[in-house]
Amino acid sequence: MSEHAALLDVAREAVAKATEIVRSRPRFSVSAKGDRDLVTDVDTAVEDALREFLTAETPEIGVLGEERGRSGDGGGRWWALDPIDGTANFARGIPLCGISLALVDGEHSAVAAIALPYLGVTYTAARGEGAFANGERVGASNATELPEAMIAVGDFAIGRLAEEKNETRLRLLSDLGARAQKIRMLGTAAIDLAWVADGKLDAALILSNNPWDTMAGVLLVREAGGAVIDHDGSEHTVGSSSTIAVAAGLRKEIVDALDRAHAVVR
């Protein structure tokens, strides 16, 4: 068994453990951790459990979690963990949320697992091995024209410089909303990206790049035959400012729309 295959087994087991925790906690507390930014005690319970599990299974690899920050020295390799991506949905009983876990090696992801605990699906990928949903291979869509494209757009910015950042989002929504088949805002980057990999969405435009939110989904999309780029069209890395996942046939049209949206703000 290759190292990536072995580490994918670890990731798959980790998100299965997380799913059990999420589904076993019908009652939970909700608190604010910033401007319109929520956390529940299930988020922290999942992260603590997975951090302990990953550290025991792979002590040579560091961990970066959304709620507890970074621990360990992985020498360029680290697990990027979002214990519940879509916390606002979860807190309101909306079943669109997921556990996102990626092994980041250098600038890119090598292993990914995204579990959707209320939808009964786990997406997995290892570099060079394809993308899978519950063990069945998935592929990005073949869309080539915007009028046939369903596009997810990430949440509006909050906190510092939110107004300026959201001008770009509003321009982008106006542009694509006039031409795409449908625009969706699902409230979870993990699902946005997993569903681009699965061909359910034709593009996901996330104008931010928190590694715990995006790095698992980025690998899934690439392994499914889609493209993932920064807002300027350059190839996406862990240091990118945006995460733009798109069916390969729509890449130019999406990059052009992003250029127009950013040019107006500049």
> What average pLDDT does the segment 223-229 reach?
98
Q: For residue range 233-260, what is the model confidence (pLDDT) as tens digits?
A: 999 999 999 999 999 999 999 999 999 9
> What average pLDDT does the segment 206-212 reach?
94
The helix or strand, by DSSP H or E, that contains position 57, with its residue range, turns out to be helix 41-57
Q: 25: pLDDT confidence band, cut at 50, 70 and 90?
A: confident
pLDDT of residue 123: 98
pLDDT of residue 1: 65
Annotated ligand binding at 256? The verdict is no
pLDDT of residue 265: 47
pLDDT of residue 171: 94
Contact (CB, 8 A) for 136 and 198: no
Annotated ligand binding at 85? The verdict is yes
Ranking 14-23, 63-72, 77-86, 180-189 by mean pLDDT, the lowest is 63-72
Annotated ligand binding at 254? The verdict is no
pLDDT of residue 94: 96
pLDDT of residue 266: 45
Where do the domains of the chain lie?
A: 3-137, 146-263
**38 pLDDT more than 90:** no
Annotated ligand binding at 136? The verdict is no
> What's the whole-model pTM score?
0.94
| CA proximity to 140, closest of 197, 179, 96 | 197
**71 pLDDT more than 50:** yes
Strand partners, 33: none
> What average pLDDT does the segment 102-131 reach?
97
pLDDT of residue 264: 58
Beta-carbon contacts of residue 265 (< 8 Å; ≥ 6 apart):
164, 167, 168, 171
pLDDT, averaged across the chain: 93
Q: 158: pLDDT confidence band, cut at 50, 70 and 90?
A: confident
**Pairs from 122-125 (Cβ < 8 Å, separation ≥ 24):** 122/12, 122/15, 122/16, 122/19, 123/194, 123/197, 123/198, 123/220, 124/8, 124/11, 124/12, 125/8, 125/197, 125/219, 125/220, 125/223, 125/224
CATH code: domain 146-263 is 3.40.190.80
Phi then psi for 110, rounded to 5 degrees?
-110, -25
Annotated ligand binding at 84? The verdict is yes
**83 pLDDT more than 90:** yes
Name the CATH code of domain 3-137 (choices 3.40.50.2000, 3.20.20.60, 3.30.540.10, 3.40.50.2020).
Answer: 3.30.540.10
Q: Would the CATH topology of 3-137 be identical to that of 146-263?
A: no
**39 pLDDT more than 90:** no
pLDDT of residue 26: 79
